[in-house]
């Protein structure tokens, strides 16, 4: 596996990062191994959080989507569903890569003054990578997390599209803390863990939950849509 520099600011969106990880692994989009790419994607976000790098919320949505696909692949009854989800993800990656390629072609023409515009057009702002599909229980998890985040953003008067991580919050430490609390209580109400906490803590805690789900150490459930998230040991 190749060494990957942690500089998330260079990516226009989560699909941009995912495509770069695929390219650096020198594999075809159609041959993507969900287990490997999910682990690398989560590892990248975890390292970015530890380096105080800004991460937009849509990067976390794609992380949850990858977790959802990986989880369904482990369950025989959900195998067909997981294959459909993976196929949808691959199609969106291909579509994104095509638009990305075309935008680069347009950029080169623009730089050579072969195209004229009535006003400046920033091709960097062209992004279709945030409109991916999230289904099932992971969608409800995303919705609940988003609700918690929106409350934190409103309290702090912060743009909900940007989160700045602080060094005092580490994914691995919060993951260990969550496991310890689950062992003591049998189940853990995630909303109480992040209640009245600042946005950086909530995002890092969410990453910790995703990492624990990815490692197969915990399960989560909700009694109904948009209700509290309960975590329990697997």
Domain boundary residue among 69, 87, 114? 114
Q: Which of 114, 139, 162 is the last residue of a domain?
A: 114
Range of the domain at 19: 8-114
Count up the domains in the chain and report the number: 2
Mark whether 25 and 110 lie in a shared domain. Answer: yes
pLDDT-based confidence at residue 181 (cuts at 50, 70, 90):
very high
107 found inside a domain: yes
User: Mean pLDDT highest for which of 2-6, 121-125, 140-144, 175-179?
Assistant: 175-179
The 10s digit of each residue's pLDDT in 23-64 is 888 878 777 788 888 888 888 888 777 766 666 677 887 888
Which pLDDT tens digit goes with each residue over 206-220?
Answer: 778 878 887 888 887
Written as six digits, the tokens of 10 are: 């260079």
Residue 41 covered by a domain: yes
Domain match, 96 and 185 both: no
In a domain, 42, yes or no: yes
Shared domain check, 19 and 97: yes
Is 97 part of a structural domain of the chain? yes
Residue 199 belongs to domain with CATH number: 1.10.10.580
> Do 94 and 191 share a domain, yes or no?
no
Among residues 207, 224, 209, the alpha carbon closest in space to that of 41 is found at 207
Give CA separation, 222 vs 70, 83, 142, 225, in Å: 20, 25, 12, 7
Given 67, 84, 114, the domain boundary residue is 114
Give the chain's length: 234
As a whole number of angstroms, the distance between CA 80 and CA 72 comes to 9
* 12 shares a domain with 105: yes
């Amino acid at each position: 596996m190749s060494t990957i520099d942690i500089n998330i600011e260079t990516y226009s969106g989560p699909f941009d990062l995912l495509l770069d990880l695929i390219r650096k692994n020198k594999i075809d989009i159609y041959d993507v191994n969900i287990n490997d790419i999910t682990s690398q994607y989560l590892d990248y976000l975890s390292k970015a959080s530890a380096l105080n790098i800004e991460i937009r919320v849509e990067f976390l949505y794609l992380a949850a989507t990858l977790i959802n696909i990986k989880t369904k692949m482990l369950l025989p009854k959900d195998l067909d569903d997981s294959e459909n989800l993976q196929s949808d993800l691959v199609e969106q990656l291909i579509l994104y890569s095509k638009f990305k390629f075309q935008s680069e072609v347009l950029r080169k023409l623009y730089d050579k003054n072969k195209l004229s515009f009535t006003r400046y057009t920033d091709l960097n702002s062209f992004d279709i990578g945030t409109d991916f599909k999230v289904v099932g229980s992971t969608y409800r998890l995303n919705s609940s997390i988003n609700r918690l985040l929106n409350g934190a953003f409103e309290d702090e008067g912060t743009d909900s599209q940007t989160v700045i991580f602080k060094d005092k919050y580490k994914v691995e430490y919060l993951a260990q803390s969550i496991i310890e609390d689950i062992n003591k209580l049998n189940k853990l109400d995630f909303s109480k863990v992040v209640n009245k906490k600042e946005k950086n803590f909530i995002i890092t805690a969410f990453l910790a939950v995703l990492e624990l789900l990815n490692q197969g150490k915990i399960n989560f459930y909700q009694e109904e849509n948009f209700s509290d998230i309960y975590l329990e040991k697997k």
